[in-house]
């Protein structure tokens, strides 16, 4: 059995990052352990990274939000001499399976997006202090920061050398951030992305590749000044102390199923599917922000978000042949709505705000998961508020109609809340209901007029909230037929179809990064020019260039 990739880490076990806290500024040092690769067969030299390094970084960013609310500026820098970061490890990419390469790129993109949005969303701004070579994924780390400072020492540089060196593309949004975020002129971007050695000093500033170039003698001083300036402009709510993100309560079964406190993942390997059951709260919602703080990571809204996030990542990386994910819920819709209402009504409190933002990120993770997603609204379901968002994130939804014989659970119903109309936007900056009803926005208003109601199948169908409704006579057969059909379609065709259909409406930098980059990189990662026996990735470091099939296709 292949090694299970675990997305839960603890600061005491970090091998690649360390943090020094100085009041409202945190200094985040990249100090990659060469021998600390996630798999055998390569060394992480020159601060290059693999998925394990990025799992730690994602944990750092998450804990910064929840455990260190006093921090307003994070300075990302290298602990190595003469190198900032060499980017994704080439030996790792050369030896990894295609699916791992693509999932690695997707996770690193999500991590970059998380700290890139931290400034606007949470008032935690990231500054990149670049001293030494900053290449490929290293420059993409810097690009996702709010501000880039480069030392002018004659050798430090920024570069995106993937095209000339490796015959692949920058894997974490580099091309799009250069043109869309930094607004580098297209012709200069073309030159930049063709230079193996990258760009140094004043030219990097002139081309908009960095924000500031500073002499080596003044570099540390200027970095500290900028960190304080960003902290002074931060909108982050005042907080003296954070909460501890305690380890998740979870149990892995031999068959791949996972049990958490609020989430259960049931693997049916012979059918190629996984069922995710989300259990509603059994306790009352907090009544004060003091109580929210005291409950900390155990409060239902945060606990459920963390467990669902971990479950989605586990399925993505460890269960590649489970092509269909079925969402179900069980519990009291009013209780779910009550917990969410408390969070949304206390957005001026840092922790309530962070819990809402975490749900936004988790739901985006669902949107970006390349599996066929289906939701079942069964008797006893608790699809309310942010859980109802799952109904609008999936590819299809089925709702039970009326009472089911022998089933004493409440009739299936959906409960919309204010949360369905703004707090959890998709990557296209629209809500899922706005995306769903893009042809007729009045349908969003119709749905908004029913907030707080228990919408049974007839109402839900009329409002367009579900795909199909079936009574107890047809329910099991219809669900079985759909799941059998879906599991037998080509997974490649399904991934392409679903990704095309999920993101209607306007494009944003985020949708372009995930849509265009993922599609192109997915293709390039299978081309012999990159990954063939004589391809650039395989020959990198040998002194021999890759052999290319020169036909454009």
| Per-residue 3-state assignment (H helix, E strand, C coil) for 312-354 | HHHHHHHCCCCCEEEEEEECCHHHHHHHHHHHHHCCCCHHHHH
Residue 3 lies in a domain: no
pLDDT for res 1? 39
Do 175 and 313 lie in a common domain?
A: no
Residues facing 273 on adjacent strands: 268, 324
Do 68 and 207 lie in a common domain?
A: yes
In angstroms, the CA 363 to CA 367 distance is 6
Do 351 and 229 lie in a common domain?
A: no
Widest distance between CA atoms in the chain: 79
Q: Which of 198, 233, 268 is the last residue of a domain?
A: 233
Q: Which of 185, 207, 233 is the last residue of a domain?
A: 233
Instruction: Check: CB of residue 297 under 8 Å from CB of residue 306.
Output: yes
Do 267 and 146 lie in a common domain?
A: no
254: left (phi over 0), alpha (psi -120 to 50) or beta: alpha
Do 260 and 192 lie in a common domain?
A: no
In angstroms, the CA 445 to CA 442 distance is 5
CB-based contacts of 26: which residues, under 8 Å, 6+ apart? Answer: 19, 20, 64, 68, 71, 73, 74, 75
- Residue 307: CA atoms inside 13 Å, Cβ hemisphere, count? 26
Residue 1 lies in a domain: no
Residue 527 lies in a domain: no
Do 179 and 256 lie in a common domain?
A: no
CB-based contacts of 66: which residues, under 8 Å, 6+ apart? Answer: 242, 243, 245, 297, 351, 354
Q: How many CB atoms lie within 10 A of CB 165?
A: 18
CB-based contacts of 80: which residues, under 8 Å, 6+ apart? Answer: 30, 31, 32, 46, 47, 132
Do 423 and 454 lie in a common domain?
A: yes
Residue 538 lies in a domain: no
Do 395 and 468 lie in a common domain?
A: yes
Do 138 and 58 lie in a common domain?
A: yes
Instruction: Check: CB of residue 486 under 8 Å from CB of residue 497.
Output: no
pLDDT for res 366? 98
**HEC-encoded secondary structure of 170-230:** CCCCHHHHHHHHCCCCHHHHHHHCCCCCCEEHHHHHHCCCCCEEEEHHHHHHHHHHHHHHH
CB-based contacts of 496: which residues, under 8 Å, 6+ apart? Answer: none
Instruction: Check: CB of residue 212 under 8 Å from CB of residue 149.
Output: yes
Q: For residue 375, what are its two tokens?
A: 């939701």
pLDDT for res 482? 96
Q: pLDDT per position in the chain (553 positions), as tens?
A: 368 999 999 999 999 999 999 999 999 999 999 999 999 999 999 999 999 999 999 999 999 999 999 999 999 999 999 999 999 999 999 899 999 999 999 999 999 999 999 999 999 999 999 999 999 999 999 999 999 999 999 999 999 999 999 999 998 899 999 999 999 999 999 999 999 999 999 999 999 999 999 999 999 999 999 999 999 999 998 888 899 999 999 999 999 999 999 999 999 999 999 999 999 999 999 999 999 999 999 999 999 999 999 999 999 999 999 999 999 999 999 999 999 999 999 999 999 999 999 999 999 999 999 999 999 999 999 999 999 999 999 999 999 999 999 999 999 999 999 999 999 999 999 999 999 999 999 999 999 999 999 999 999 999 999 999 999 999 999 999 999 999 899 998 998 899 889 989 999 999 999 888 878 888 888 889 999 999 998 888 888 989 998 988 7
- 256 closest CA partner among 237, 276, 278, 232: 276
Residue 386 lies in a domain: yes
Structural domain span for residue 353 = 251-500
- 171 closest CA partner among 98, 57, 87, 114: 87
pLDDT for res 444? 98
Q: Which of 233, 262, 293 is the last residue of a domain?
A: 233
Residue 270 lies in a domain: yes
What pLDDT, in 10s, does the model give residues 258-277?
999 999 999 999 999 999 99
CB-based contacts of 431: which residues, under 8 Å, 6+ apart? Answer: 420, 421, 422, 424, 425, 444
How many structural domains are present in the chain? 2
Do 216 and 264 lie in a common domain?
A: no
CB-based contacts of 465: which residues, under 8 Å, 6+ apart? Answer: 391, 392, 397, 414, 416, 447, 455
pLDDT for res 281? 98
Strand order in the sheet with 83-85: 83-85, 133-135, 157-159, 199-200
Q: For residue 329, what are its two tokens?
A: 């819920």
Residue 528 lies in a domain: no
Do 215 and 355 lie in a common domain?
A: no
**Residue 371, SS3 per DSSP:** coil
pLDDT for res 551? 87
Residue 549 lies in a domain: no
Q: What is the CATH number of the domain that holds 153?
A: 3.90.226.10
Do 268 and 389 lie in a common domain?
A: yes
pLDDT for res 104? 94
Strand order in the sheet with 17-22: 17-22, 25-30, 73-78, 125-130, 147-152, 212-215
In angstroms, the CA 504 to CA 392 distance is 13
Q: Is 273 exposed, middle or buried (0-12, 13-18, 19+ CB in 10 A)?
A: buried
């Amino acid at each position: 059995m292949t090694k299970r990739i675990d997305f839960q880490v603890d600061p005491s076990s970090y091998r690649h990052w360390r943090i020094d806290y100085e009041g409202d500024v945190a200094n985040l040092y990249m100090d990659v352990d060469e021998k600390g690769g996630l798999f055998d067969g390569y060394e992480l030299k020159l601060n290059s990274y693999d998925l394990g390094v990025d799992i730690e970084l994602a944990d750092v960013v998450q804990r910064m939000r929840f455990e260190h609310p006093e921090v307003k500026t994070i300075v990302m820098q290298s602990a190595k001499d003469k190198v900032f970061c060499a980017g994704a490890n080439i030996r790792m990419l050369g030896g990894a399976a295609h699916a791992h390469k693509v999932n690695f790129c997707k996770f690193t993109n999500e991590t970059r997006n998380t700290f890139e949005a931290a400034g606007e969303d949470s008032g935690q701004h990231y500054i990149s202090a670049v001293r030494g070579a900053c290449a490929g994924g290293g420059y993409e780390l810097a690009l996702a920061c709010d501000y880039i400072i480069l030392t002018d020492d004659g050798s430090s540089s920024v570069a995106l050398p993937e095209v000339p060196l490796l015959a692949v593309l920058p894997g974490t949004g580099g091309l799009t951030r250069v043109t869309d975020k930094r607004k580098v002129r297209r012709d200069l971007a073309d030159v930049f992305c063709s230079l193996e050695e990258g760009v140094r000093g004043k030219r990097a500033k002139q081309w908009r590749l960095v924000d500031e170039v500073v002499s080596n003698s003044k570099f540390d001083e200027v970095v500290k000044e900028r960190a304080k300036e960003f902290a002074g402009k931060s909108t982050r709510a005042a907080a003296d102390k954070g909460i501890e993100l305690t380890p998740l309560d979870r149990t892995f079964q031999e068959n791949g199923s996972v049990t958490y406190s609020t989430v259960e993942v049931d693997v049916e390997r012979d059918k190629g599917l996984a069922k995710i059951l989300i259990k509603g709260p059994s306790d009352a919602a907090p009544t004060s922000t003091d109580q929210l703080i005291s409950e900390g990571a155990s409060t239902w809204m945060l606990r459920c978000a963390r467990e669902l996030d971990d479950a989605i990542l586990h399925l993505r990386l460890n269960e590649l042949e489970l092509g269909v994910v079925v969402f179900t819920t069980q519990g009291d819709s009013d209780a779910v709505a009550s917990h969410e209402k408390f969070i949304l009504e206390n957005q001026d409190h840092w922790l309530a705000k962070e819990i809402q933002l975490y749900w936004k990120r988790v739901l985006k993770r669902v949107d970006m998961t390349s599996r066929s997603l289906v939701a079942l609204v069964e008797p006893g379901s608790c699809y309310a508020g942010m859980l109802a968002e799952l109904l609008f994130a999936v590819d299809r939804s089925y709702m039970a109609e009326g009472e089911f014989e022998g089933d004493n659970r409440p009739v299936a119903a959906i409960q919309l809340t204010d949360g369905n109309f703004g707090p959890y936007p998709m990557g296209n900056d629209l809500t899922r209901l706005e995306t769903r009803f893009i042809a007729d926005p009045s349908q969003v208003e119709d749905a908004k007029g029913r907030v707080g109601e228990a919408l049974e199948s007839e109402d839900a169908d009329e409002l367009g909230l579900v795909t199909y409704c079936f009574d107890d006579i047809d329910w099991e057969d219809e669900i079985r037929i759909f799941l059998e059909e879906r599991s037998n379609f080509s997974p490649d065709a399904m991934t392409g179809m679903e990704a095309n259909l999920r993101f209607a409406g306007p494009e944003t930098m985020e949708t372009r990064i995930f849509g265009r980059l993922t599609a192109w990189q997915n293709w390039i990662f299978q081309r012999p020019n990159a990954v063939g026996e004589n391809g650039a990735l395989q020959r990198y470091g040998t002194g021999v260039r890759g052999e290319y099939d020169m036909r454009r296709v």
